[in-house]
């Protein structure tokens, strides 16, 4: 290293956010590159599944803080440097703008969009450069964000989890993923989550309705009802009677293949304990709580084996029995978790039975788990490469070598004989409401929409504000904070239940709202446009926000279909605070040279934003198209 570079590195104070797959590699590389003052924030604890790639951790560390263990591991071979760890959420109040101002550069190794946006805003407010990163399998990306010099993290479209029309999920599935969403978000939630939720699973065929009491809830299990009989009743209802109810609408099936109703008596013996030799001496209550699984009871060992209809039906019944026998206290509060073996078994079996009914190819448990959890298995070498690229860009930032900043893409297959493709960063997007302060436009019925609708659906969900403050002129309509007295809290809560036009300072057509997040030091203007009517199918939220970005329709999914039907978000569990599940609209005023294309990278699937095991999340773009964009301001 030249003296200038060495001096910049040794005198730098660096903040790392995330100590997972990328974070472990990054901390090691920073320490070995000569950095002396490093701070790490991570809210997660170590899990067994981390150990195959997060090399600073060992089995004895399971359950401990990632940030602390990573710090201790690096200090063992670099004891002379200063590393401070924070086992906390980066969105906590103590990590405010003043906290960020003490650092020379911030390096992100995060696993979710929400936290990334939060850090981006704090870096802008503190005027601290940010180096962002992400990986998915063999693909990786590193970008540099410097206020006023390059685009910020939110200047461009960010992918969101795919959504599917509700009617496709409930009535006309054509892909296995549709069956997974149905099994996970409808059936599993109905059986083991909140039973009071209403969904299309309650639909009955005429034959079933005529033989049941009007008030009977098929999902309600009587105290003295045998678990196996209850399971068969559910099986017959969702795979038999509900399919018959769907078939009664002849118009739906004019141009579609008709599904086949499946009943338990067709595929299962009268008594499972008599037929299944592996379970005749082992009931559900014999299973150890710590390893609850239906597969051993049925002699199934290989998760990559493809089960037939009978095997899936057996797993369905046995898994349901195990939930009631061994995890009864959890029923009513459960949500699907890809790391819950029994939940994965149940969802796989249910999805396969439904797929069989609709003539869709079946999948193994291994494949179904990947689809249900949106898992792309992490590659340790990709994390190492990306960590090295982060450090290279961080050194350029510290030297203020702006002409050499690069966004770098790590490819799975060579393109132009390159596996690493560097591209010059781009100038800030003038339509970005975060860094360019462009006003947003909100179409809303000011006489029928309440302030709560605005706060929940726009300010929090779409704009990602955590501690919002809303003003109309000089009138403060809403505020969140620990320093508010009881009278103020009561007044703001009362405002939430008022229609916009009836607020103390009425919000009507032509009003301009100022929305701020004091923690993020972000402020934006929203111009209100009153609109009487909204299409319930195309605009289910009853309001339309323009001037913010959302990813375009995914390849293979019809844009018109997505607009004409209500959507079900395909979301996934995450070890981070949350994975973004909200739509982001493409700005109508966005210049063409700022509109990114979303073609596939080297034939990869166009799910650019996915969960990687449990802590690596990508923001992969197409490196072949970004060269069409305008270059940054020098």
Which stretch of DSSP H or E encloses residue 15?
A: strand 13-17
Q: What DSSP assignment string belongs to 309-345?
A: HHHHHHHHHHHHHHHHHH-GGGTTT----TT-HHHHH
Tokens 């701070």, residue located = 39
> Is pLDDT of 159 > 70?
no
pLDDT on residue 202: 63
Least confident piece of the model among 47-51, 371-375, 412-416, 550-554: 550-554
Q: Answer positive or negative: Cα dihedral of 431, 432, 434, 439.
A: positive
Cβ-count burial of 304 within 10 angstroms (0-12 exposed, 13-18 middle, 19+ buried)? exposed
> Is pLDDT of 599 > 90?
no
Terminal CA-CA length for the chain = 26
> Is pLDDT of 522 > 50?
yes
Q: Which of 115, 122, 66 is nearest to 90 (CA)?
A: 115
21 is in an annotated binding site: yes
> Is pLDDT of 222 > 90?
no
pLDDT-derived band at 561 (thresholds 50, 70, 90) equals very low
23 is in an annotated binding site: yes
Mean pLDDT of 108-122: 91
Q: What is the pLDDT of residues 74-94, one digit of tens each?
A: 999 999 999 999 999 999 989
Q: What is the pLDDT of residues 245-266, one digit of tens each?
A: 889 888 888 888 999 999 999 9
Contact 422, 406 (CB under 8 A): yes
Mean pLDDT of 312-319: 95
pLDDT on residue 121: 94
Which of 238 and 437 is assigned the larger pLDDT? 238
Q: Supply 308's token pair.
A: 């037939």
pLDDT on residue 277: 38
User: Could you give the CA distance from residue 425 to residue 395 in angstroms, rounded to a whole number?
Assistant: 16
Give the SS3 label for residue 497: coil
User: Could you give the CA distance from residue 297 to residue 294 in angstroms, rounded to a whole number?
Assistant: 5
20 is in an annotated binding site: yes
CA angle 95, 101, 103 (to 5 degrees): 95
Question: Pairing state of beta strands 468-472 and 512-517?
Answer: antiparallel
> Is pLDDT of 480 > 80?
yes
Q: Mean pLDDT highest for which of 105-109, 181-185, 409-413, 552-556?
A: 105-109
User: What single DSSP character describes residue 65?
Assistant: B
Cβ-count burial of 400 within 10 angstroms (0-12 exposed, 13-18 middle, 19+ buried)? exposed
Mean pLDDT of 464-478: 92
Q: Which of 320, 160, 126 is nearest to 228 (CA)?
A: 320
Q: Which of 202, 172, 176 is nearest to 350 (CA)?
A: 176
**Neighbour order of strands in the sheet with 105-108:** 82-86, 37-41, 13-17, 105-108, 130-136, 139-145, 407-415, 418-423
pLDDT-derived band at 624 (thresholds 50, 70, 90) equals low
pLDDT on residue 535: 85
Task: State the chain's mean pLDDT as an integer.
Answer: 81
155 is in an annotated binding site: yes
pLDDT-derived band at 554 (thresholds 50, 70, 90) equals very low
Least confident piece of the model among 33-47, 272-286, 502-516: 272-286
113 is in an annotated binding site: yes
CA angle 338, 136, 141 (to 5 degrees): 145
Give the SS3 label for residue 222: coil
> Is pLDDT of 150 > 90?
yes
pLDDT-derived band at 591 (thresholds 50, 70, 90) equals very low
pLDDT-derived band at 291 (thresholds 50, 70, 90) equals low
CA 183 to the chain's CA centroid: 18
> Is pLDDT of 613 > 60?
no
Which stretch of DSSP H or E encloses residue 166?
A: helix 166-170
pLDDT on residue 604: 31
596 is in an annotated binding site: no
Which of 269 and 76 is assigned the larger pLDDT? 76
User: Could you give the CA distance from residue 45 to residue 89 in angstroms, rounded to a whole number?
Assistant: 12
pLDDT on residue 196: 67
Which of 2 and 499 is assigned the larger pLDDT? 499
> Is pLDDT of 284 > 60?
no
Mean pLDDT of 521-544: 88
pLDDT on residue 623: 58
Domains of the chain as residue ranges with CATH:
1-160+375-436+554-634 (3.40.50.720), 166-372 (1.10.10.520), 440-546 (3.10.290.20)
pLDDT on residue 507: 95
Least confident piece of the model among 8-22, 40-54, 547-561: 547-561
> Is pLDDT of 502 > 80?
yes
User: Could you give the CA distance from residue 399 to residue 8 in angstroms, rounded to a whole number?
Assistant: 6
Mean pLDDT of 603-611: 32
Cβ-count burial of 268 within 10 angstroms (0-12 exposed, 13-18 middle, 19+ buried)? buried
Which of 473 and 285 is assigned the larger pLDDT? 473
pLDDT on residue 182: 94
pLDDT on residue 218: 82
In 10 A of CB 316, how many CB atoms? 29
Mean pLDDT of 472-485: 88
Which of 540 and 424 is assigned the larger pLDDT? 424
Tokens 């994390």, residue located = 383
- Which pTM value belongs to this model? 0.68
User: Could you give the CA distance from residue 596 to residue 407 in angstroms, rounded to a whole number?
Assistant: 15
User: Could you give the CA distance from residue 467 to residue 94 in angstroms, rounded to a whole number?
Assistant: 14
Active site (catalytic) residues: 167
Q: What is the pLDDT of residues 172-218, one digit of tens each?
A: 899 999 999 999 989 999 999 876 666 667 655 455 555 544 446 78
Least confident piece of the model among 13-22, 152-161, 171-180: 152-161
42 is in an annotated binding site: yes
pLDDT-derived band at 124 (thresholds 50, 70, 90) equals very high
Question: Pairing state of beta strands 567-569 and 418-423?
Answer: unpaired
User: Could you give the CA distance from residue 372 to residue 374 in angstroms, rounded to a whole number?
Assistant: 6
pLDDT on residue 28: 97
Q: What percentage of residues in the chain have a pLDDT greater than 70?
A: 78
């Amino acid at each position: 290293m030249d003296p200038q570079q060495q001096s910049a590195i040794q005198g730098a104070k660096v903040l790392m956010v995330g100590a997972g797959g990328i974070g472990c590699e990054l901390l090691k590389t920073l320490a070995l590159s000569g950095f002396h003052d490093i701070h790490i924030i991570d809210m997660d604890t170590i899990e067994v599944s981390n150990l195959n790639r997060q090399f600073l951790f060992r089995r004895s560390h399971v359950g401990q803080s990632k940030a602390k263990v990573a710090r201790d591991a690096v200090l063992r071979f670099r004891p002379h440097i200063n590393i401070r760890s924070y086992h906390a959420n980066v969105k906590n109040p103590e990590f405010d703008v003043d906290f960020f101002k003490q650092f020379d550069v911030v390096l992100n190794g995060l696993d979710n969009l929400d936290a990334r946006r939060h850090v981006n805003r704090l870096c802008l407010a503190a005027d601290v450069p940010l180096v962002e990163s992400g990986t998915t399998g063999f693909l990786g990306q590193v970008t540099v964000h410097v206020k006023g010099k390059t685009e910020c993290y939110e200047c461009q479209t960010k992918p969101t989890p795919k959504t599917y029309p509700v009617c496709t999920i409930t009535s006309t599935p054509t892909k296995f993923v549709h069956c997974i969403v149905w099994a996970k978000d409808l059936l599993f939630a109905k059986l083991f989550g909140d039973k009071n939720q209403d969904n299309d699973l309650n639909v009955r065929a005429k034959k079933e309705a005529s033989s049941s009491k009007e008030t009977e809830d098929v999902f309600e299990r009587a105290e003295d009802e045998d678990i196996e009989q209850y399971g068969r009743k559910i099986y017959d209802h969702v795979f038999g009677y509900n399919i018959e109810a769907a078939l009664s609408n002849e118009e739906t099936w004019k141009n579609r293949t008709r599904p086949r109703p499946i009943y338990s008596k067709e595929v299962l013996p009268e008594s499972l304990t008599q037929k299944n030799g592996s379970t005749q001496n082992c009931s559900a209550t014999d299973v150890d709580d710590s390893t609850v699984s239906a597969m051993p009871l049925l002699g199934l060992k290989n998760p990559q084996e493809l089960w037939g209809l009978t095997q899936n039906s057996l797993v369905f019944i046995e898994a349901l029995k195990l939930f009631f026998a061994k995890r009864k206290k959890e029923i009513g509060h459960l949500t699907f978790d890809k790391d819950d073996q029994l939940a994965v078994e149940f969802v796989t079996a249910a999805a396969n039975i439904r797929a069989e009914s609709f003539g869709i190819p079946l999948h193994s448990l291994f494949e179904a788990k990947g689809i249900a959890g949106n898992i792309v298995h992490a590659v340790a070498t990709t994390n190492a490469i990306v960590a090295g690229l982060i450090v290279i860009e961080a050194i350029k930032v510290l030297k203020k070598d702006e002409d050499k900043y690069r966004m770098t893409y790590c490819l799975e297959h060579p393109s132009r004989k390159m596996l690493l493709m560097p591209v010059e960063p781009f100038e800030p997007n003038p339509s970005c409401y975060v860094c360019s302060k462009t006003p947003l436009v909100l179409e809303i019925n000011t006489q029928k929409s309440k302030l709560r609708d605005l706060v929940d659906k726009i300010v929090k969900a779409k704009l990602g504000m955590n501690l919002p403050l809303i003003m109309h002129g000089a009138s403060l309509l809403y505020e969140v904070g620990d320093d508010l007295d009881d009278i103020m809290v009561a007044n703001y809560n009362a405002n939430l239940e008022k229609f916009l036009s009836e607020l103390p300072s009425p919000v009507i057509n032509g009003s301009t709202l100022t929305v701020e997040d004091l923690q993020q030091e972000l402020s934006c203007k929203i111009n209100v446009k009153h609109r009487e009517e909204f299409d319930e199918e195309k605009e289910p939220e009853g309001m339309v926000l323009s001037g913010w970005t959302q990813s375009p329709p995914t390849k293979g999914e019809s844009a018109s279909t997505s607009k004409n039907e209500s959507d079900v978000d395909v979301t996934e569990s995450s070890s981070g605070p949350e994975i973004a599940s909200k739509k982001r609209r493409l700005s109508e005023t966005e210049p063409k040279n700022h509109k990114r294309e979303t073609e596939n990278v080297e034939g990869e699937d166009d799910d650019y934003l996915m969960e990687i095991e449990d802590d690596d999340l990508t923001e992969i773009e197409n490196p072949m198209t970004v060269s069409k964009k305008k270059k940054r301001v020098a």
